[in-house]
Structure formats: C-alpha cells, structure tokens
C-alpha cells in the first residue's frame, strides 16, 4: 500500500540549481571630503561572465545572471546622475531576467558605506528598487565590509547579511564566498518550499574609526573571536559585527550586529549576546598605533634609530575616502632642516595631482621643473606647495594613471644660493604624485617607480592603519592625527545627523536589551 501522507512530509526537491542574480555598487564615501566620486573612479563590469570573473574562488553551483557591478577606491559622495543611471540599469536588467524565468535569489555585492548626493541611505534606496524588480519571494543575500552600515531598510530587504571578520580585511573574498554559499543554499530551500531564514538585528550606538577597531589588537580581536563559536550553535548560521562608517553624517551610521539561522530565538539570542559584548568594551577602544600631531610624529621618526620609520597621514587616507591631495604633511617634510640637508631620506606617498604628473612626464626622467603640488581638491592649509623637483621615475602601468617620483630640490634664494634650477642641490625628500587617487599598500606599487618600502629613513603614507606589506616593512610606526576629510578626531568633523547618544560624541550609551532586537524572516 502507498504510504499515507503526514504533516511532516517534505515537498519534493527541485533538482535544478538555484537561479541567482548578481549586481551592486561598492564604494565607501566620506561626506566630509570635498571630493566627488564619479563614473571615472569605478571599475564597471557588466554581464554574468565579467562579474563572476572577479571572484577568485569556485562559486557554488547555480544559474547566475550578472547585470552590473561597479567598484571604486573609497572617495567622496557619488554624483547623483551616475548613481541614477546605474540603479536604473540594474533594476531593468533584473526585471528582464526575472520575467524570463523567476530568480530564486539575488546577491547584493556591495561595500555598505556608499553615499550619494541627495540620499541618506544609498544601499537602502538601491535594494528597495531591486526588490520591486525581483519581487518579495527571491532570497536576497549580501556580504559587506565591516565598516559598512546596516540600516533598518537594508535589513528588512535582505534575508542574509554577513560581513568581514578581520581588519585589515584579509578575509574579504572568504566573506563573499560564505555569503554566496549561504545564499545558494537558502534560495534553493525556499524555492522548494522551505521556510525563509530567521534574522535579527541589534544596533549599538558606537561610531569609531577603523584605526581604533583593528582586529590586530584588543578589544576588537577578542570581540570578533567570539563569532565562530556563536555560529556553531544549533539553528544559527551566521553572526556578524559591523563597526559602521565614521566619516559619513547619516542616521544609519553606527555599529550593528546581525545573525541569521533556523530559529528566531537562537538568532535573536546570538545577536543580543554579541551586541552586549560590544557594549561592555565600549570605552576600551584605542588607536592601533601610538598617535600624535604630524610634527610630534616627525620629531620621533627623525630621532629614532629604527629604519624605516613609517608615519600615517591618516586624515587624508584615500582608503577611507580622503581627497588624497592635502599638503599638510608635504609642506612640513619639505621644510624640515634634516631632510632639506639630505641627512635624513624621506618619502611622501602619494598625492593625486594630474597636473604635476603631466608636467613630470613632459620633462622626462632627469628633467627638472618648478611645480605647485597638491591642494587642488582639498585646499585646506597650506594649499598647493611650490617645489623645485627633479623627475626620478615615471610609470603608468598601474591603477594610478600617470605616476611620477619627484626628488625635491633645494629652493633657498639667499646669498650664495643657486639661481638656476639646474644648479639646485637635491634634498632628502622624494614625493610621489599620481593622475588618479590611489593607495600605496603593496610592494608592487612601490616597485613600479623603482622604490622600496624599506628604502627610506622616513616614509609618510596617506593611510590609516598599515596594510600587511606596509606593516611588515615598517621598523616602527606612528599614526599622525592630521586634518582632512577622514580626520581620526571625529569631534572635529561636525556630525549633525547621527543618532544620539553615540560614543564618542556622548559620554555614555544604554546597554542593549531584548527590546532592541529587530527580527524578521522565518516565513
């Protein structure tokens, strides 16, 4: 006799792999920098092949439909017209794909801290529009930078949210692989009649720069180390902690904990537990390196026997959205007597200045020119710096556009000083200028100009915390608290639209409670 159906009979499993759309716009944007990001700043991929080709791992089995993915170095707010065009292209492409054959899922490949002129929650705006194209049934997953933001709108529109667990982000691709794997599994399950994953969100009103929340040091190291054990609990698939993006003035900017899995109770408890652990160490976050004014850092670097001694020009870090052309540090390096005399060799890397880069290319290697360097976008004090320079090296093979290493020449005009540029003596300072904003984080970047990360006594770099190649090259390192669009001193920036109370803007915040847990999914 045939078996009698029961209430626990599972629906038949569809043997087809899930059909998954992929699209996204990935950038983190400072709202405090005068720089405006545009289409020219982005690497844009269109179509399934180009988009899948960016993933350096074997994607899970699925029928993929890639529409558009745009990615850029962190910058300023994205201009509204570029965003509107890409948004429409993504929505139209997904709508067409969904009409051809329903999408079981969608992978929202983003950073999470994009700002667009005129919008306060760009990712929330984009995913809301995408939902209109793919409908409410498709499972949506995203894998983000831990410096992204999770608004209520983004949380409601996504079923699965995860983020990096390391800063520096050594697990960026691992996180995307995890996100895609969980999405493919959940999309197939929901298509075959299974329940949607349960999810939980807890916001913690803390807003800190990445340089205070590196997982190399406490308390972030131990905080993130809690996550693997939480994900091993019954009915918990993933737990993630977003620090949030400190250099945007928007209500969504704050820390967030999100969990998802098979039980509302389990994921809610896991999210609240990690949120409570973050709250308990709210006053313990310190900078990842000793800090000081640039003058203090340069004094220590020159006096130190450790070589090379690295200094981060943190306020203009292009990796967080700085303009990459403030001259606060350059002017002080050029004026330093030990460097001018050649007693100390120093490298300033790098400033975006296509005008000076073009002048260097016109002069050629060995050529000497008088130039005004930097300060064309973020013109805060001291603005463009007049320098006499000798072109030491040229390159345009990398992502920087035209790049030039310039050896700074003496510019004294007193008695006995040479009047002719060709007779000017070399100082100990070399400065790199580029045609595009860029972050000099790898040995390969330096080598393109014949430079070495260990070839100077003092290296000043437009960075926050040092990336692995830099960190390994530095004999010692200080974080200079310099002015700029990503100033580490958040209180100097003038946030007005963030939620309050908020650490460090207020002395105290309330502890998270069960009432603070946002829930969703499970149907």
CA dist 212 to 158, 168, 329, Å?
29, 12, 22
Residues belonging to the chain = 523
**pLDDT per residue as tens, the chain (523 positions):** 334 444 444 556 678 999 999 999 999 999 999 999 999 999 999 999 999 999 999 999 999 999 999 999 999 999 999 999 999 999 999 999 999 999 999 999 999 999 999 999 999 999 999 999 999 999 999 999 999 999 999 999 999 999 999 999 999 999 999 999 999 999 999 999 999 999 999 999 999 999 999 999 999 999 999 999 999 999 999 999 999 999 999 999 999 999 999 999 999 999 999 999 999 999 999 999 999 999 999 999 999 999 999 999 999 999 999 999 999 999 999 999 999 999 999 999 999 999 999 999 999 999 999 999 999 999 999 999 999 999 999 999 989 999 999 999 998 644 444 458 989 999 999 999 999 999 999 999 999 999 999 999 999 999 999 999 999 999 999 999 999 999 999 999 999 999 999 999 999 999 999 999 999 987 7
Instruction: With beta carbons less than 8 A apart as the criterion, state whether 78 and 126 touch.
Output: no
371-393: burial string, b at 16+ Cβ within 10 Å, e else:
bbbbbbbbebeeebbebbbbbbb
Do residues 138 and 104 lie in contact, with contact meaning Cβ atoms separated by under 8 Å?
yes
Question: How large is the angle between the packed helices 294-303 and 328-335, nearest 10 degrees?
Answer: 40
Are the CB atoms for 309 and 457 separated by under 8 Å? yes
Q: Exposed (0-12), middle (13-18) or buried (19+): which is 300, by Cβ within 10 Å?
A: middle
Cα separation, 348 vs 405, whole angstroms: 10
CB 202 within 8 A of CB 240: no
Identify any residues that bridge with 373 across adjacent strands, giving them in sequence order.
Answer: 385
pTM above 0.85, yes or no: yes
User: Helix, strand or coil for residue 513?
Assistant: coil
Measured distance CA(243)–CA(228) in Å, rounded: 18
Could you tell me whether strands 198-204 and 518-521 are parallel, antiparallel, or unpaired per DSSP bridges? antiparallel
CA 148 to chain centre: 8
């Amino acid at each position: 006799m045939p078996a009698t159906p029961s209430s626990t009979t599972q629906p038949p499993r569809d043997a087809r792999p899930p059909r998954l759309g992929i699209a996204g716009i990935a950038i983190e944007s400072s709202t405090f920098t005068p720089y405006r990001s545009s289409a020219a700043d982005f690497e844009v991929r269109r179509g399934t092949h180009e988009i899948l080709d960016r993933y350096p791992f074997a994607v899970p089995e699925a029928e993929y439909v890639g529409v558009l993915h745009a990615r850029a170095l962190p910058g300023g707010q994205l201009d509204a017209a570029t965003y509107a065009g890409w948004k429409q292209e993504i929505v139209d492409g997904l709508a067409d794909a969904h009409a051809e054959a329903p999408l079981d899922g969608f992978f929202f490949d983003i950073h999470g801290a994009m700002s667009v002129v005129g919008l306060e929650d760009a990712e929330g705006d984009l995913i809301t529009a995408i939902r209109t194209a793919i409908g409410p049934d498709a499972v949506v997953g995203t894998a983000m930078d831990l410096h992204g933001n999770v608004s209520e709108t983004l949380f409601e529109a996504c079923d699965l949210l995860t983020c990096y667990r390391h800063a520096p982000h050594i697990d960026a691709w691992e996180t995307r692989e995890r996100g895609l794997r969980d999405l493919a599994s959940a999309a197939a399950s929901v298509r075959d009649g299974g329940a949607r994953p349960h999810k939980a969100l807890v916001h913690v009103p803390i807003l800190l720069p990445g340089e205070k929340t590196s997982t190399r040091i406490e308390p972030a190291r131990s905080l993130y180390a809690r996550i693997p054990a939480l994900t091993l609990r019954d009915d918990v698939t993933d737990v993630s902690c977003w620090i949030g993006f400190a250099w945007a003035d928007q209500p969504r900017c704050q820390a967030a904990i999100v969990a998802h899995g098979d039980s509302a109770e389990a994921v809610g408890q896991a999210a609240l537990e990690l949120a409570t652990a973050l709250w308990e160490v709210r006053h313990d976050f310190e900078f990842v390196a000793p800090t000081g004014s640039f003058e203090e850092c340069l004094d220590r670097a020159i006096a130190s026997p450790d070589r090379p001694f690295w200094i981060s020009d943190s306020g203009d870090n292009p990796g967080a959205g700085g303009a990459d052309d403030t001259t606060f540090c350059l002017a002080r390096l050029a004026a330093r007597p030990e460097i001018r005399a050649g007693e100390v060799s120093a490298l300033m890397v790098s400033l975006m200045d296509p005008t000076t880069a073009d002048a260097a290319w016109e002069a050629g290697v060995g050529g000497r020119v008088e130039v005004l360097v930097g300060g064309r976008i973020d013109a805060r004090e001291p603005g463009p710096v007049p320098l006499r320079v000798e072109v030491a090296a040229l390159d345009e093979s990398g992502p920087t556009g035209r790049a030039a290493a310039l050896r700074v020449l003496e510019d004294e005009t007193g008695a006995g000083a040479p009047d002719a540029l060709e007779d000017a003596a070399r100082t100990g300072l070399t400065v790199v200028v580029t045609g595009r904003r860029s972050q000099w984080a790898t040995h390969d970047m330096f080598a393109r100009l014949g430079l070495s990360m260990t070839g100077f006594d003092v290296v000043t770099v437009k960075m926050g915390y040092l990336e692995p190649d830099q960190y390994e090259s530095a004999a010692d390192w200080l974080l200079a608290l310099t002015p700029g669009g990503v100033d580490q001193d958040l209180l100097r920036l003038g946030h007005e639209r963030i939620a309050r109370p908020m650490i460090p803007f207020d002395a105290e915040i309330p502890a998270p409670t069960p009432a603070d847990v946002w829930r969703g999914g499970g149907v």
